[in-house]
Amino acid sequence: MTSRNHISAPTRRSVVKAAAVTAVAAPALAAAASPALAAAGAPVFLHGVASGDPLPDGVLLWTRVTPTPDALPGSGRGPDVTVGWELAEDRGFARTVASGSTVASAGADHTVKVDVRGLRPATPYWYRFTVDGTVSPAGRTRTAPAADASGPGVRFGVVSCANWEAGWFSAYRHLAARTDLDAVLHLGDYIYEYATGAYPEAKYGVRQHQPAHEITTLADYRLRHATYKTDSDLQALHAAHPVVAIWDDHEFANDAWSGGAENHTPGTEGVWADRVAAAKRAYFEWMPVRASTEGTVYRRLRFGRLADLHLLDLRSFRSQQAGVGSGAVDDPERSITGRAQLDWLKSGLSASDAAWQLVGTSVMISPVAFGALPAELLAPLAELLGLPQEGLAVNVDQWDGYTDDRKELLKHLTDRGIRNTVFLTGDIHMAWANDVPVKAATYPLSASAATEFVVTSVTSDNLDDLLHVAPGTLSLVAQTAVKAANRHVKWVDMDHHGYGVLDVTAARSQMDYYTVSNRADRDATASWARSYRTLNGTQRVERVYQPVL
């Protein structure tokens, strides 16, 4: 953990509310990681605290204890220790409402998770952990509204694709500094599996992964998660807000599917099922996420009568990606969701009485085709979008590669009259605002079944990074061509890094897009870029000329 304090008094636009919350957590982080404590062999909290998956009556609490200096993540060393926890209504812990103890063991990599229940809905709480007199950083969390509550609104931070080597996590710092969020939604690629210097090239990186090799074993995945959680901006995010997370491919390996991955080599890298089991075990140890009995992340959270949040797992059950240009993309026997998950999603959408159906999908559901592009732009866009270098418009790793599932889902929305469905997406390191057409070829004369907001990456390479040019140098040509060939795409930004803030009211769902000034600058500022909304009942997005204040 570094000694820099990213939390106090960063520069930001006036539309972002400065937070007192994380200013309290910052000194505790420094104290918990004290070299003197570590040198003395006392237990320390080097990886911060976190909360997640808020319910109306509960929330999941997380931390990791380093009980002895040799108990490094993934090492399997170190004694079991008893960890106390407490949750209070105030930051001074004078009004404690719940407390208890649990055990941090080497078998769980000395991580602990506590599922606290019996809490009041829509209420902020403070929490902390203790071991042998050492006190963890204090975190702030918040429960969800009551299931039948009709509040004025809910608000989420939205992020994806944070590559440790590619840049600093300034987007997390700016979200941590807001006091107006109910939760932060992480749409996948929380970690990356690559060897150091593989992506991006070493000369473009700002820091190195640990372990340095591509991760394949349980010890590897544990250490990689631990490395990410030493970042002070990521710790600040977790200490400030509950996080609701799903995984995408890089929590496992690039372009993962149920039976393998693009960069997994059986034999030299072991059996794929063993690698997946290791990655999932480390994920559930290190993330404030409730695991289902099936060991997946698809689940549903409710935020009063305003919104049901349907979270998808689009890696565990999918068929292998079709060959580019293959008619297999339309094969009804192939699936991106798996039959059980698609039926679960359809059933949940039909049964919901919430005003809005928010669907967290790690890859883009809107179809994408290309118009004419110059060669120097086609290659990097093909890399980002999963397209062939010759420009055939099929993105086989996203819903474009599994058209029968998409057709069935969109038909379900239209046949059942399910309105106000908003897909929330990450993955492709660009920001988009889309209508989701039933038939893209005839749009806008044909219907839109839903809308989609795609957030850009926290740090992972986008168009200007791949071309090594200043933002906007060439992207205007590419963006114009994409919009011309895809009339349902209302906006795309191919250059910037940042995050989104989704504000949901009974009347509309609005995504405010923010960009950071420079991913290579640890003190990068953030500024509002654009806003788009979909009004209740319309299934179409429109531009808004100011963010929600």
What separation in angstroms does the CA of 397 have from each of 259, 385, 449, 541? 14, 9, 22, 25
Bigger pLDDT: 373 vs 369:
369
DSSP strands (E only) in 117-187: 124-131, 134-135, 139-142, 154-159, 183-186
Global pTM? 0.91
Question: If you write DSSP's letter for every residue of 226-293 in order, what string do you get?
Answer: HHHTT-HHHHHHHHHS-EEE---STTTSTT-BTTB-TT--TTTS--HHHHHHHHHHHHHHHSS-PPPT
Smallest Cα–Cα separation from 302: which of 125, 189, 151, 453? 151
Strand partners of residue 61: 51, 114
Per-residue model confidence as pLDDT tens digits over 315-326: 999 999 998 767
pLDDT at position 65 is 98
What separation in angstroms does the CA of 479 have from each of 11, 364, 378? 30, 17, 12
Strand partners of residue 243: 52, 184
Question: If you write DSSP's letter for every residue of 505-521 in order, what string do you get?
Answer: -SSEEEEEEEEES-TT-
Share of the chain above pLDDT 90, in %: 79
Contact 1, 33 (CB under 8 A): yes
3-class secondary structure, 404 = helix
Per-residue model confidence as pLDDT tens digits over 370-424: 765 555 666 676 677 665 443 444 588 999 999 999 999 999 999 999 999 999 9
**Structure letter (DSSP) for residue 198:** B
Helices (H), 198-231: 218-228
Bigger pLDDT: 240 vs 328:
240
Q: Which of 240-254, 324-338, 401-415, 421-435 has the lowest mean pLDDT?
A: 324-338
Contact 407, 167 (CB under 8 A): no
pLDDT at position 20 is 31
Smallest Cα–Cα separation from 358: which of 415, 295, 425, 403? 425
What separation in angstroms does the CA of 20 have from each of 177, 236, 237? 8, 12, 13
Q: Which two tokens stand for residue 146?
A: 């009551």
State the pLDDT confidence band at 27, using cuts at 50, 70 and 90.
Answer: very low
Q: Which two tokens stand for residue 72?
A: 């490094």
11: buried, middle or exposed (CB in 10 Å: 19+, 13-18, 0-12)? exposed
Per-residue model confidence as pLDDT tens digits over 162-211: 999 999 999 999 999 999 999 999 999 999 999 999 999 999 999 999 99
**pLDDT higher than threshold 90 for residue 140:** yes
pLDDT at position 395 is 80
- Over residues 296-312, the mean pLDDT reads 97
Cβ neighbours around 489 below 10 Å, total: 24
Share of the chain above pLDDT 70, in %: 88
Please tell me whether the peptide bond between 200 and the residue prior to it is cis, using omega within 30 degrees of 0: yes
The C-alpha atoms of residue 104 and residue 43 are separated, in whole angstroms, by 11
Long-range contacts of 335-341 (CB under 8 A, 24+ apart): 335/402, 335/404, 335/405, 336/363, 336/399, 336/401, 336/402, 336/405, 337/312, 337/405, 338/258, 341/296, 341/298, 341/312, 341/313, 341/317
State the pLDDT confidence band at 28, using cuts at 50, 70 and 90.
Answer: very low
Per-residue model confidence as pLDDT tens digits over 46-97: 999 999 999 999 999 999 999 999 999 999 999 999 999 999 999 999 999 9
**pLDDT higher than threshold 60 for residue 4:** no
State the pLDDT confidence band at 473, using cuts at 50, 70 and 90.
Answer: confident
Topology of domain 21-544 in CATH is Purple Acid Phosphatase; chain A, domain 2 (3.60.21)
pLDDT at position 166 is 98
The C-alpha atoms of residue 478 and residue 90 are separated, in whole angstroms, by 51
The C-alpha atoms of residue 63 and residue 549 are separated, in whole angstroms, by 33
Per-residue model confidence as pLDDT tens digits over 478-504: 888 888 889 999 999 999 999 999 999
pLDDT at position 484 is 87
Q: Which of 233-242, 257-266, 386-395, 464-473 has the lowest mean pLDDT?
A: 386-395
pLDDT at position 252 is 98
pLDDT at position 376 is 62
State the pLDDT confidence band at 327, using cuts at 50, 70 and 90.
Answer: confident
CA geometry: angle at 434 spanning 544 and 535, to 5°?
Answer: 50
Strand partners of residue 344: none
pLDDT at position 516 is 98
Smallest Cα–Cα separation from 272: which of 283, 282, 264? 264
Kindly report the average pLDDT of the chain as a whole number: 90
**pLDDT higher than threshold 70 for residue 18:** no
The C-alpha atoms of residue 251 and residue 248 are separated, in whole angstroms, by 6
Cα 501 from chain centre: 13
The C-alpha atoms of residue 155 and residue 326 are separated, in whole angstroms, by 41
Q: Which two tokens stand for residue 211?
A: 């372990």
Q: Which two tokens stand for residue 78?
A: 């170190």
Smallest Cα–Cα separation from 226: which of 20, 21, 7, 78? 78
**Structure letter (DSSP) for residue 107:** G
Q: Biggest alpha carbon distance in the chain?
A: 71
